[in-house]
Amino acid sequence: MRLVTISDLEQPQHTKSLLIERAMQLGKWYHEFKKTDTEGYEYTVRIGGDRTRKPGIHASEISRCSRLLTYSVRGEQRIATESNHADANMRMRFSLGNAVHAMVQNEMRRMCARLGGAVSFHDEVKISWELGGVAAQWGVDSSCDGVFVFWIEVDGEALPYLRVGFEIKTKSGPEFEKLVKPDDDHMEQTCLYMAALDLPLMWVFYYNKSNSNWTSSEPPWLFQFDRHLWETTLQPRFGAVHQNAQTGELPPRQEGRHCGWCPYSWTCKPAILTAPQRGPSPVLKNPGALRVLR
Ligand code: SF4
């Protein structure tokens, strides 16, 4: 009985259900781990930066704007948004998100260590053309936040019998409370990870930055590979982007707040960045709070 690859999803429902129920234990183990997580530890936060990104498809960018994807696939230079147009508030949110990622990845590693080898956690699982398959076909360069591997011993040899991808997302309190399922762009991002890494299951772990609540490893946060999404939406999108990159044609701009941190705004020049009503992002507490009382 195993659920290690996407093709393993084609098995009788009763055996598959047993394995999915096993995967659903991850959140309970994490909760129990945190109750007794009292020893000292440290972790490092690594931030790659825009400039180090290679040409190609990056999973976190596939839902935003096809023009951005086209620039990336054709290897256009990535340059930080001009400071007078940059979204400083969003960059601060990214910094906090990166710190939470490192914290949770560290916790999952230590949780698995306590499970005595029954489950291992592999963080920042790299996806690049060297992987072959989907990654080579579409020129994907990304990394998945993590993969859990469940092990069983057979004749003295440890064999994997279950694999679950892991994606961490941070949300503000109000955004977290509104969640009823993973966001559409996160479903697309994780679908690409699953296709490239041949993962049958994925757990999207939303972390509430206001009160440290998180989403359990149960549906809808834990889900199976969505073949329909992959075949009817993502593959055609990647095909069109590669076609555009080859012909030099740029798809229409899909402007939005995301232009404020797009590394191609220097060449794309979207109108939104110079729109008079845009104004700076609110990053400071109202200065009225600092007034000296007389
Ligand atoms: S600046 Fe905006 S519209 Fe232009 S490529 Fe980037 S995200 Fe798309």
Hey, whose CA ends up nearest to atom 4 of ligand 1? 268
Rounded to the nearest angstrom, the distance between the alpha carbon of 268 and the centre of ligand 1 is 6
162 against 84, higher pLDDT = 162
Q: Is 200 in the pocket of ligand 1 (CB under 6 A)?
A: no
Query: Sheet holding 142-154: strands in order across?
Result: 119-127, 142-154, 157-171, 201-208, 222-224
Instruction: State the pLDDT at residue 290.
Output: 59
* Structure-token match 């909760």, residue found: 31
Rounded to the nearest angstrom, the distance between the alpha carbon of 256 and the centre of ligand 1 is 8
Give the atom of ligand 1 at the shortest distance from the alpha carbon of 66: 8
Q: Is residue 280 over pLDDT 70?
A: no
CA nearest to 123, candidates 133, 113, 136: 113
Q: Is 68 in the pocket of ligand 1 (CB under 6 A)?
A: yes
CA distance 56 to 76: 10
Q: Which of 61, 64, 68, 85 maximizes ligand 1 atoms within 8 Å of its Cβ, making it the mutation to test the pocket?
A: 68
pTM: 0.92
- Token code pair at residue 273: 């960045």
Q: Is 168 in the pocket of ligand 1 (CB under 6 A)?
A: no
Q: Is residue 239 over pLDDT 90?
A: yes
Percent with pLDDT over 90 in the chain: 79
Rounded to the nearest angstrom, the distance between the alpha carbon of 143 and the centre of ligand 1 is 23
- Could you write out the DSSP letters of every residue in 210-259? TT--B--SSTTTEEE--HHHIIIIIHHHHHHHHHHHHHTPPPPP--SGGG
Instruction: State the pLDDT at residue 184.
Output: 97
Q: Is residue 200 over pLDDT 90?
A: yes
Q: Is 69 in the pocket of ligand 1 (CB under 6 A)?
A: no
